[in-house]
Structure 1
Amino acid sequence: MDREPRWKHDGVQVIAGDQLDSNTPQTPGMFRQAAINHARTGAERIWAGTVAIDPDAKTGVHHHGALESVIFVVKGKARMRWGEQLEYVAEAGPGDFIYVPPFVPHQEINADPDETLQCVLVRSDNEAVVVNIDDIHPVEEPEAVYWVDPIHRHPHDDH
């Protein structure tokens, strides 16, 4: 009879930051590592890891199907473009969260020409769904969408 406590081996798991798995889909200019996935932890409905994006690097236009994604910016300056013609743009810095809803065409960009962008990425499923979109022709001047909340004021607000 097993006398060990029930949750000793099936409970909380800590994944050390220097023990991440780089055996993930990679994109030129980006380095992804998995922390939480089915293979490593048995996770069924979530994926979490890190991504480092080289200066000035950007993804192609894509969406993640029915998945929801959250990006937390650790270091650097992220720029997100989205929409049917990537007509919207917003930037995020250290401590900011980015939410990407299902099926939204978008492009992730490191907005800094000199510094690597470092982020934590969480997705609502274990499957890596990426649907590349080749027929979007971005507008020239994207409309700026500012993140305004109690911490981030609109840049044109003089208060």
Structure 2
Amino acid sequence: MPGFLRGALLGFCGLVAGIQLIRPARTNPPVDQSHTLEAVVFVPPKIESILQRACDDCHSDLTRWPWYSNVAPVSWFVIDHVDSGRRHVNFSEWFRRDTKNPAEYTRERFQAMCRQMQTGDMPLTSYLLVHRTAKLSQDDIETICQWTKTGVLPN
């Protein structure tokens, strides 16, 4: 192997090994059941099943971290997506003390959720590439959207 190619290969391997030391935190904070979505609204079993399959990994504190979330630089991408998803909507922290009007918050979040599912913006395409079971069928979307329009009443 020519010296330049060998040096480049060794440098690349060193870089890949070195970036493994940069490890953002993968977190699953404890869930307080009094703060969850289910504490605020009735979630039928079919809806709960769809949300768990397609949404919970990024939108709850119950993330199932896949093996590749330990390997940089992919781990950076995955952890950033989960952190971002939780900031936008977190089913595990639906109701917090700083939520002034849980009913209004719930209506706004669910209108946005339905709209994003209908337009295909959620779940993210990048997530679906490796989580094929999270793909929503048209029936899933219609079921969720119907529930958000008629079945979301504060407990």
Query: TM-score interval w.r.t. the shorter chain?
Result: under 0.3
Kindly indicate which of the two structures has a greater share of residues assigned to strand.
1
Largest Rg, 1 or 2: 2
TM-score, normalised by the number of residues in structure 2: 0.24
Structure with more helix by fraction:
2
